[in-house]
């Protein structure tokens, strides 16, 4: 079955600390992985997609097919990073996104 797991509901860090938001997926084919962010009272916004291997707002994520993971990392958290982060999987066969349950990142001053 296709599934995305985000094991942490809440991650609280201090400003300047490193951040790693975990995402594991279950899919036997060739996946496309995305990270979406939702700031308070705003829409879901695309943060990263693995195929473009870019860094946005200091965040990076590497697809590890061996561990079936796509963890989101940032070396130094900022208060404005506080938001809900969703990992999403798109399988080759369809265009639908399968979302994880999300991790709320709280960056303390």
Partner 1 sequence: EPEVTQTPSHQVTQMGQEVILRCVPISNHLYFYWYRQILGQKVEFLVSFYNNEISEKSEIFDDQFSVERPDGSNFTLKIRSTKLEDSAMYFCASSEARTQYFGPGTRLLVL
Q: Would you say 17 or 46 has its CB closer to partner 1?
A: 46
Nearest 5°: the CA angle 2, 85, 100 is 15
For the CB of residue 45, give the shortest distance to partner 1 in the complex, in Å: 7
11 part of the interface to partner 1, by CB under 8 A: no
Q: Tell me phi and psi for residue 90, to 5 degrees.
A: -120, 125
Identify the residue among 98, 103, 105, 107 touching partner 1 (CB under 8 A). Answer: 98
Within 33-52, the residues that bind partner 1 by CB under 8 A are 34, 36, 42-46, 49, 51
| Footprint of partner 1 (CB under 8 A) | 32, 34, 36, 42-46, 49, 51, 86, 88, 90, 94-102
């Amino acid at each position: 079955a296709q599934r995305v797991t985000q094991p942490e509901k809440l991650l609280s860090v201090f400003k300047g600390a490193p951040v790693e938001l975990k995402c594991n997926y279950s899919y036997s084919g060739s996946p496309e992985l995305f990270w979406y962010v939702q700031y308070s009272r705003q829409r879901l916004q695309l943060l990263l997609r693995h195929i473009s291997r870019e860094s946005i707002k200091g965040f990076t994520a590497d697809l590890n097919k061996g561990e079936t993971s796509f963890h989101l990392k940032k070396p130094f958290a900022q208060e404005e990073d506080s938001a809900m982060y969703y990992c999403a999987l798109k399988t080759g066969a369809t265009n639908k996104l399968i979302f994880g349950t999300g991790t709320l990142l709280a960056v303390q001053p």
